[in-house]
Chain A
Amino acid sequence: MNTAIRAPALADRVKDAALAAFVAFALLAPILGMETVVGPDGRLTLAFHFDLVALGVAIVFIGRLLFGGLVAGRLAVRREGGPISRFLSRYSTVLGAAGLAFAVALPFLPFSSRYVIDVATTVVIYVMLGWGLNIVVGLAGLLDLGYVAFYAVGAYSYALFAQWFGLGFWTCLPIAGLLAAIAGILLGFPVLRLRGDYLAIVTLGFGEIIRLVLINWHEVTGGPNGIADIPRPSFFGFPFTRNPGEGEIAFHQLFGLEFSTMHRVIFLYYLALGLALITNLFVLRIRKLPIGRAWEALREDEIACKALGINPTNTKLTAFALGAMFGGFAGSFFATRQGFISPESFTFIESAIILAIVVLGGMGSQIGVVLAAAVIVLLPEIARELETYRMLFFGAAMVLIMIWRPRGLLAHREPTIRLARRGGAA
């Protein structure tokens, strides 16, 4: 009996696999098998790819035959952290220090070039965005699908203040953070009493509203053309130019160096790194404060929190505003780095990528976000032809990770603080 349950008769498995293959055929045949192509006369014609369909059906059939039934059972068991996750959480301090040392040393390592530093800067921005969103999604358990809106608020506030009032980067950085936080509060105040999934949709709608306003409000935002010639950052007042203006001292003159365009690239990298580290430090510290603990408690059980006298709306609002603030900082940095911004950079896909970083990395895990951001940015850099398939991979990964390990790949849901050490003294 027992063996019969464990290993169903071969005939049944073949039948099951054949059924799966049939479903796969019906799914793939129209969409994958018949590609609509606009012909020379403007009419649609079809290009047939039934070889691909056959391949897909064969993969499903064989996969189902070999692993059918097995997969579901095994996936269900492995909910808790595996060896990698345990290793990472045990040595997180060591790994963090090593990673930090590597990040600081990167521009001076032998293999580093302008390209490497540029990519590293992008990774660091995404790490920062991931950490910012992690406050909202990972700690407070609020699903924010419009995070990129705050990123946009930060970027546009720097660009506009610089353009209209001639303010510098260091003045605008706090303003951008503040404005993004205010946007977060304005959005959050009315919607945070809603259920979690309503909140997700409202934030999504908000993100789209911001983007549509940026596209259509030509007088201020420049419409789809965006804003160009955003001032580049200076080294605390010393610009990175070969020939500084009257009465100015350039960075290379200040330190008596040979002029090099690399200075600015390296400076931008360290600027991003510094901002990201501030974010990290902030999150690590605030988790231990009452407000941080209230976030985590709220994520686990809202009703219990209400019963204990935590005001859920205010608590969520702080998480939302702080997350938005870091989004604003990152946006401001993005604007000064690119020198050009347009609504194109702030689409829903961008929000989805940041969310994917948080989800794949493990909600609430700081080091997981770094790894996920590195994978997500580096993957298309390593293999250019994979660029189109990137989102395909992310989508599938988000589904699989939710099934396999709903708390994220590296998540450990240890409470940040325990009341007393278990097992007596020491």
Chain B
Amino acid sequence: MAYFLQQLINGIALGMVYGLIAIGYSMVYGIIGMINFAHGEIYMIGAFVSIIFFTLLGMLGISWAPLALVLVLLAAIVITSLYGWTVERIAYRPLRGSFRLAPLISAIGMSIFLQTYVQVTQGAKIKPLQPVITGGITFTDASGFTVTISWIQVLIVVLTVALMAGFTWIIAKTPLGRAQRACAQDLKMAALCGVDVDRTISLTFVIGAALAAVAGLMATLYYGVIDFFIGFLAGVKAFTAAVLGGIGSIPGAMLGGLVLGLVEAFWSGYFSIEYKDVAAFTILVIVLIFLPTGILGQPEVEKV
């Protein structure tokens, strides 16, 4: 039982990270109907900006954890958002209205470019981070098994829930959210009604990148090591989460992330750790075949 609980906790923390990345895929897909293949790399850049700023703050002598965390969080969000914005501006905006595969190929190119860019500038070696937050809450049950909730896991859950609350508020109540929902329904009609479509799409990319930056920061804290290649796997898994929850649906993305995180945690806990990535990919294939609209998605009607 304790082992089960431990895997449950690990799975939830992992799932929240996937969920945050998945929202970026889902929002972009909902509005312009394309898979932002470079989103995983945006997450990777978020992780790198975090580790760079942690190191910088350490060199400047700011070692009080809460202050360092807030500063790094802000820096990661600002810089990663700027990357998201620039990627959209350079690689996707000129292709609006081009043929179907063009934005996807452009996105793959961007993904390769960003990955190699970080590899060239930061080196291919694994980057270890000195633990910033240590310790946790430990419970012991009658039979002597312990369940540990680390402070990082608590931070992940609290931060994700807070972000989701703020994000839901943005979508539901603000003019930006209204514009986004209008664009998701019909880009042309939204433009005719006076919505600045380009600006809305840009901001969507910025929000997605900001959430990915938070995910990157938390993954850096959680795992303690990063390299330039982490974006690929995380990207594919988060995309799986987005599809699983129903692409285009924001609560679906979070739900899909949680399901995927739990499956992965239990799979590596009970079956084999080598095949945990295979499990994620298999879920993707199975969901796409039997449930292409996902758990909370709307069926898609193709029009002439």
Same assembly? yes
Q: B281-304, CB under 8 A of A: which get 1 and which 0?
A: 110110011001000000010101
Q: Are A212 and B45 in contact, with the CB atoms below 8 A? A: no
Interface centre among B113, B277, B289 (most CB of A within 10 A): B113
A6 at the interface (CB under 8 A from B): no
Complex alpha-carbon distance, A395 and B113, angstroms: 4
Q: Which parts of A50-81 form the interface with B (CB within 8 Å)?
A: 72, 75-76
Complex alpha-carbon distance, A190 and B284, angstroms: 12
A205 at the interface (CB under 8 A from B): yes
Query: Which of the residues A42, A197, A394, A402 comes within 8 Å of B128, measured between beta carbons?
Result: A42
- Min distance, Cβ B213 to any Cβ of chain A, angstroms: 12
B71 at the interface (CB under 8 A from A): no
B109 at the interface (CB under 8 A from A): yes
Complex alpha-carbon distance, A257 and B10, angstroms: 68
Q: B16-38, CB under 8 A of A: which get 1 and which 0?
A: 00000000000000000011000
Q: Are B117 and A392 in contact, with the CB atoms below 8 A? A: yes
Complex alpha-carbon distance, A165 and B8, angstroms: 47
Q: Which parts of A374-397 form the interface with B (CB within 8 Å)?
A: 388-389, 391-392, 394-397
Q: Are A209 and B281 in contact, with the CB atoms below 8 A? A: yes
B274 at the interface (CB under 8 A from A): yes
- Min distance, Cβ B32 to any Cβ of chain A, angstroms: 12
Asked, given contacts A75-B94, A201-B284, A394-B112, whether A27 binds B101 with beta carbons under 8 Å apart, the answer is no
Asked, given contacts A23-B82, A198-B288, A406-B99, whether A399 binds B130 with beta carbons under 8 Å apart, the answer is no
Q: Which parts of A1-51 form the interface with B (CB within 8 Å)?
A: 23, 26-27, 30-32, 34-38, 42-46
Q: Are B109 and A402 in contact, with the CB atoms below 8 A? A: yes
Q: Are A208 and B277 in contact, with the CB atoms below 8 A? A: yes
A227 at the interface (CB under 8 A from B): no
Measured CB to CB, the nearest residue on chain B to A207 is: B281
Q: Are B285 and A23 in contact, with the CB atoms below 8 A? A: no
Query: Which of the residues A209, A303, A399 comes within 8 Å of B106, measured between beta carbons?
Result: A399
| Chain A residues with CB under 8 A of B83 | 27
**Number of residues in A with C-beta < 8 Å to the partner?**
62
Q: Are B282 and A209 in contact, with the CB atoms below 8 A? A: yes
Q: B143-176, CB under 8 A of A: which get 1 and which 0?
A: 0000000000000000000000000000000000
Stretch at the interface among B119-127, B132-140, B180-188, B257-265: B119-127
| Chain B residues with CB under 8 A of A391 | 112-113, 115-116
Q: Are A395 and B112 in contact, with the CB atoms below 8 A? A: yes
Q: Are A205 and B285 in contact, with the CB atoms below 8 A? A: yes
Stretch at the interface among B47-55, B195-203, B204-212: B47-55
Interface centre among B115, B117, B127, B243 (most CB of A within 10 A): B117
Q: Are B109 and A394 in contact, with the CB atoms below 8 A? A: yes
Q: Are B284 and A194 in contact, with the CB atoms below 8 A? A: no
| Chain B residues with CB under 8 A of A42 | 128
| Chain A residues with CB under 8 A of B281 | 205-206, 208-209, 212
Q: Are A31 and B117 in contact, with the CB atoms below 8 A? A: yes
**Number of residues in B with C-beta < 8 Å to the partner?**
72
Complex alpha-carbon distance, A339 and B278, angstroms: 28
Complex alpha-carbon distance, A217 and B301, angstroms: 42
Asked, given contacts A31-B121, A72-B94, A208-B281, whether A395 binds B109 with beta carbons under 8 Å apart, the answer is yes
Q: B236-252, CB under 8 A of A: which get 1 and which 0?
A: 10011001000000000
Measured CB to CB, the nearest residue on chain A to B118 is: A31
| Chain B residues with CB under 8 A of A202 | 284-285, 288
- Min distance, Cβ A33 to any Cβ of chain B, angstroms: 9
Q: Are B79 and A27 in contact, with the CB atoms below 8 A? A: yes
Complex alpha-carbon distance, A355 and B111, angstroms: 14
Q: Are B106 and A403 in contact, with the CB atoms below 8 A? A: yes
A277 at the interface (CB under 8 A from B): no
- Min distance, Cβ B78 to any Cβ of chain A, angstroms: 8
Q: Are B278 and A212 in contact, with the CB atoms below 8 A? A: yes
| Chain A residues with CB under 8 A of B236 | 201, 204-205, 208
- Min distance, Cβ A405 to any Cβ of chain B, angstroms: 10
A117 at the interface (CB under 8 A from B): no
Q: Are B122 and A303 in contact, with the CB atoms below 8 A? A: no
| Chain A residues with CB under 8 A of B52 | 30-31, 34, 36, 46
- Min distance, Cβ B274 to any Cβ of chain A, angstroms: 4
Q: Are A399 and B285 in contact, with the CB atoms below 8 A? A: no
- Min distance, Cβ B14 to any Cβ of chain A, angstroms: 19
20 residue pairs bridging A and B, Cβ less than 8 Å apart = A23-B82, A30-B79, A31-B52, A34-B56, A35-B121, A36-B48, A46-B52, A141-B100, A190-B285, A205-B240, A209-B282, A209-B285, A212-B274, A212-B278, A388-B119, A394-B109, A394-B112, A395-B109, A398-B112, A402-B106
Nearest 9 CB-CB pairings of A with B = A398-B109, A395-B113, A395-B112, A205-B281, A402-B106, A399-B109, A391-B116, A392-B116, A190-B289
Seen from chain B, the residues whose Cβ lies within 8 Å of a Cβ on chain A are: 34-35, 45, 48-49, 51-56, 58-59, 75, 78-79, 82-83, 86, 90-91, 94-95, 98-106, 108-123, 125, 127-130, 232, 236, 239-240, 243, 274-275, 277-278, 281-282, 284-285, 288-289, 292, 300, 302, 304
